[in-house]
Structures are given as structure tokens and as C-alpha cells.
């Protein structure tokens, strides 16, 4: 791009290494700079307005520029701008938030532990699980199973749990003792003639065979998102979580529900675990906990996890883990106010009702020549693009068609994200049916334009 010297675009290219970006390509194209946000919309530095159909990064539940969250931050900043929870210290926002989360949990939980991001929270969950195994006198029980295409973060440990190649190639990951079982994507992975129930049974049997091959006494936990997010918005098939949990229960293996994307209303229930009948021992949450106005994340652990951990900390003299900003008072105050807004405005019901409309409107595109599958639940969905519906083959290199359509959609005033050839949609929980219609209409125009290029 021909950025003017000393412009924000030129300075960004000079000084800023971006996340999830081709660094060489960025030197050529430069950034899209977002300057303002209001409701479901954001505005770039050229004054162009967009529907933010990804809620930022799956996360701005109550929308942009919510004054109540600004006020909550300012009140807390002026009263206690920082404190920590090391060495028996605490503060009111953190205690209030811990109590609220434990009481909100869909299954009995004992304690909340606070971190700053979903990655840190999953990293912490792994450390807690290893600590627990040692506390129980089971030092061999250290292996953890996650899934191909699952996403659990980018720290060394959490990126090892993540089942996406680009998070591991050239990072020397995954680390030892992390295993990956199959993705539950029925459309892509099912055998010819296999029903959803049969597919779920096969995946549960595959998991059990992995556990038996490794040795059940060596497997500590299974990590899973209720609905896979960054792996392509993969909704589990019929019977999947019921069958997976039966295997885990059979061998005494902990279940960790990664609710970072699904939590606080996204699936049309307060938690994705409720939507799919999951009964986790650990719940990991971030993103919509504060609508990402400030960084905060949390783990909820049940007594099955807490009691051995407490005993081991007593034996050693401390639980030697924590973060300077973990449970930061300003972030905790914002999270509390954010959760109050979600409850007061019944945004979970809005996600269910408007989400049903979004799913219906997106499925009207299933007959489009480029659409292979439309999938989703509540206010999270993906439209998978193909060049050939029968073979599910991509157009050129995998991801090329998704990138083309995503670029056209942005030109048409909607910010989405393509994960390979799947376009994701995860708008703020406040979106209306009329705004969904505008979004889907823009998508239809963009797909038609993409189809013309593909035919050309």
C-alpha cells in the first residue's frame, strides 16, 4: 500500500507485529484501522461503517460503547485501581465476581480462579490437573486429550491443546503428553451412510481405544469446547457429548469445558455446557465475561479438583501459581456489570430468538452454488464454501475461496472472519432481526460476486 509517511498505516507497518497475520503480506497491504464502535457497528479511519459480525473476536456481547461498562471502570479505577490476590489478599469486585460465577454455574462448582485470557486459563487448567494428579499420588496420570481443530489458546501449553496446524508449525509444538482425537464435524468427517448417532458412537469408541492404548491410568483430562469456534464453528452431532462423557466417566477422567466462546449466552443458553448436557469438572471462561472491554478470564473448579489441590498446597505450603493482573479489580468490576447487563436485558433469550432467525436466514443460502454447508446454533454460525458441492472440493488452495468471499463481504460493510473456507458469524448478543437481515443480504451479494470470479 502507498501509506503517507507518518500516517497511522505507515507507522503500524514500521512498528507493529500483528497477531494471526502474514507479516510479509502486511508490509504490502497495511492495516485496517478501526477508530470507533457503537452497538453492533465499528467505523474505520476512513469513516466507513461496518457490522461487526464477529463481535470483535467472538466476544463483545453487549456491543460497543456501552456506557454502563465505561462508568463501572471509572468508578473502580478511582476507588482501587489495582490490587492482587496473592498471600491471602483480596478485594470486593473479585469476591463478588467469584461468588456470582460459582452460583451461575450449570453444575456444582467450588471455587473460581482468575487469569487474564482464555489461553492463560487453559494453561492454568493444565497445571492444576497435573498438580492434582501428584496430590492424589498418581504421578503417571498426566496425559491430556483434546481434539483436532479444537482451539484452546496460544501459550505453549494451551497451543499444544489446540488442534490447528498453524498454531503449532515452527513453534515446536505440541509438547509431550498432549493427544488429539478426531473432530466431531459430521459433514466433513462422517462415513458414507453414517447417521449422526453412528458417527458419535464411532468417535466415542475411537476415544476409548486411544485411552486403552495409552493406559487409562495415564490419562488425566479431556478438553473440549461445547461448540468448536476457531476450528470452524463445529456443532457436535446428535449424542456426541453424552457418549464422550460416558467414556470419560468409565475411566475417571476429568472433563474441562472450554466456554471461552460459548459462555454467557452465545448458544442460546447461559453456557454451552447447558445446551449440550455437559457436566464438566472445570469450566474455562473469558471473552464475553467482560464483553472484552478489559482482559479477564476465569476457571471454575469443582470439589473433585479443589480438594486435592488444597491438600497439596497445604503440604507444600502454597499454591505456587498466579498472575499480577489475575482478577484485576477494574476488570472484575466491568465483568460484574457486564453480566448484570446480560441478565437484565435477557440477552440470552435474544441470542436464542434472534439466533434462530440468523440460522434460518443463513440456511436459505444453502442452495447457493458456492455453499457446501451452513451450521451453527444460537448466535454463532459458519458458512462453508466449496467449488464443488458433490466432492466438497475447494477452489484452488484451501482457504482461497474463503479469503475471497471474506474480502468481498468486508467491502460490502460486514466484518467476518474466514477460517479456511468457512466464514464465521458471531455478532454481539444485542443484534436485532433487522440487522441480521442486512448482514445476510450483504453475504448473498458477496457470494454472488465471488461466484462470478470463480466462474471467470
**Cell numbers 442460546 correspond to what residue?**
268
Same domain, 108 and 49: no
Question: What number of H helices and E strands is found in the chain?
Answer: 16, 15
User: Global pTM?
Assistant: 0.96
Domain carrying residue 198: 69-344
Q: Confidence band (pLDDT; 50, 70, 90) for 441?
A: very high
Same domain, 315 and 388: no
How, if at all, do strands 297-301 and 282-285 pair? Answer: antiparallel
Is 208's pLDDT higher than 80?
yes
Mean pLDDT throughout 200-218? 98
pLDDT at residue number 249:
98
pLDDT at residue number 5:
82
Handedness of CA 289, 183, 302, 139 (dihedral sign): negative
Residue 420 lies in a domain: yes
Same domain, 337 and 350: no
333-344 pLDDT per residue, tens: 999 999 999 999
Residue 392 lies in a domain: yes
Same domain, 303 and 391: no
91-105 pLDDT per residue, tens: 999 999 999 999 999
Mean pLDDT throughout 207-215? 98
Is 63's pLDDT higher than 70?
yes
409-428 pLDDT per residue, tens: 999 999 999 999 999 999 99
In degrees and rounded to multiples of 5, residue 118 shows phi and psi of -60, -35
Same domain, 323 and 420: no
Q: Can you tell me whether residue 388 is helix, strand or coil?
A: strand
Same domain, 329 and 350: no
Same domain, 284 and 422: no
Same domain, 367 and 313: no
Residue 9 lies in a domain: no
pLDDT at residue number 455:
87
Query: Distance between CA 439 and CA 387 in Å, rounded?
Result: 23
Same domain, 339 and 352: no
Rounded to the nearest 10 degrees, what angle do helices 329-344 and 67-79 cross at? 150
Residue 44 lies in a domain: yes
Picking from 146, 95, 149, the residue whose alpha carbon sits closest to that of residue 122 is: 146
Is 3's pLDDT higher than 80?
no
- The secondary structure of 132-170 as a DSSP string is HHHHTT-TT--EEEEETT----SSHHHHHH---GGGTTT
Same domain, 255 and 369: no
pLDDT at residue number 2:
66
Q: Confidence band (pLDDT; 50, 70, 90) for 4?
A: confident
Residue 17 lies in a domain: no
- How many folded domains does the chain comprise? 2
Q: Confidence band (pLDDT; 50, 70, 90) for 456?
A: confident
**Boundary (domain end) residue, out of 293, 328, 344:** 344
Query: Distance between CA 349 and CA 347 in Å, rounded?
Result: 5
Mean of the per-residue pLDDT values of the chain? 97
Strand partners, 43: 36, 49
E strand intervals along 248-326: 254-258, 282-285, 297-301
Q: What is the CATH number of the domain that holds 240?
A: 3.40.640.10
pLDDT at residue number 1:
65
Same domain, 288 and 379: no
Least confident of 69-78, 189-198, 347-356, 387-396: 387-396
Q: What is the DSSP letter of 234?
A: B
Is 296's pLDDT higher than 80?
yes
Amino acid at each position: 500500500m502507498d501509506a503517507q509517511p507518518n500516517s497511522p498505516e505507515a507507522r503500524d507497518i514500521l512498528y507493529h507485529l500483528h497477531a494471526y497475520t502474514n507479516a510479509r503480506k502486511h508490509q504490502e497491504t497495511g492495516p485496517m484501522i478501526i477508530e470507533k464502535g457503537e452497538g453492533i457497528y465499528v467505523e474505520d479511519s476512513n469513516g466507513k461503517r461496518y457490522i461487526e459480525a464477529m463481535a470483535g473476536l467472538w466476544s463483545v456481547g453487549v456491543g460497543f460503547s456501552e456506557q454502563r461498562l465505561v462508568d463501572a471502570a471509572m468508578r473502580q479505577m478511582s476507588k482501587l485501581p489495582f490490587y492482587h490476590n496473592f498471600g491471602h489478599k483480596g478485594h470486593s469486585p473479585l469476591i463478588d465476581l467469584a461468588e456470582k460465577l460459582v452460583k451461575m454455574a450449570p453444575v456444582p462448582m467450588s471455587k473460581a480462579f482468575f487469569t487474564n485470557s482464555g489461553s492463560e486459563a487453559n494453561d492454568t487448567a493444565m497445571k492444576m490437573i497435573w498438580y492434582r494428579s501428584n496430590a492424589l499420588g498418581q504421578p503417571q496420570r498426566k496425559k491430556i486429550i483434546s481434539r483436532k481443530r479444537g482451539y484452546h489458546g496460544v501459550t505453549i501449553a494451551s497451543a499444544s491443546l489446540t488442534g490447528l496446524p498453524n498454531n503449532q508449525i515452527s513453534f515446536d509444538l505440541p509438547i509431550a503428553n498432549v493427544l488429539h482425537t478426531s473432530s466431531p464435524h459430521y459433514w466433513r468427517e462422517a462415513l458414507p451412510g453414517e447417521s449422526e448417532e453412528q458417527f458419535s458412537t464411532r468417535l466415542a469408541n475411537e476415544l476409548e481405544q486411544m485411552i486403552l492404548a495409552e493406559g487409562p491410568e495415564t490419562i488425566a483430562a479431556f478438553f473440549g469446547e461445547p461448540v468448536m469456534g476457531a476450528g470452524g464453528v463445529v456443532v457436535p452431532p446428535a449424542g456426541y457429548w453424552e457418549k464422550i462423557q460416558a467414556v470419560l466417566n468409565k475411566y475417571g477422567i476429568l472433563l474441562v469445558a472450554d466456554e471461552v466462546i460459548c459462555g454467557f449466552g452465545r448458544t442460546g443458553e447461559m453456557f454451552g455446557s447447558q445446551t449440550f448436557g455437559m457436566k464438566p469438572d472445570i469450566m474455562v471462561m473469558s471473552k464475553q465475561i467482560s464483553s472484552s472491554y478489559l482482559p479477564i478470564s476465569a476457571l471454575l473448579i469443582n470439589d473433585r479438583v479443589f480438594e486435592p489441590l488444597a491438600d497439596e498446597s497445604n503440604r507444600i505450603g502454597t499454591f505456587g501459581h498466579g498472575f499480577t493482573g489475575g482478577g484485576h479489580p477494574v476488570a472484575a468490576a466491568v465483568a460484574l456489570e457486564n453480566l448484570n447487563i446480560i441478565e437484565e436485558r435477557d440477552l440470552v433469550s435474544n441470542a436464542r430468538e434472534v439466533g434462530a432467525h440468523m440460522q434460518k436466514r443463513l440456511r436459505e443460502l444453502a442452495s447457493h452454488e458456492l455453499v457446501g454447508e451452513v451450521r451453527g446454533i444460537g448466535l454463532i454460525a459458519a458458512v462453508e464454501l466449496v467449488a464443488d458441492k458433490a466432492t466438497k472440493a475447494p477452489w484452488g488452495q484451501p482457504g482461497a475461496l474463503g479469503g475471497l468471499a471474506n474480502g468481498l463481504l468486508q467491502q460490502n460493510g460486514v466484518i467476518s472472519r474466514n477460517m479456511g473456507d468457512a466464514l464465521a458469524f458471531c455478532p454481539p448478543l444485542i443484534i436485532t432481526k433487522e440487522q441480521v437481515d442486512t448482514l445476510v443480504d450483504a453475504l448473498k451479494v458477496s457470494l454472488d460476486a465471488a461466484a462470478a470470479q470463480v466462474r471467470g
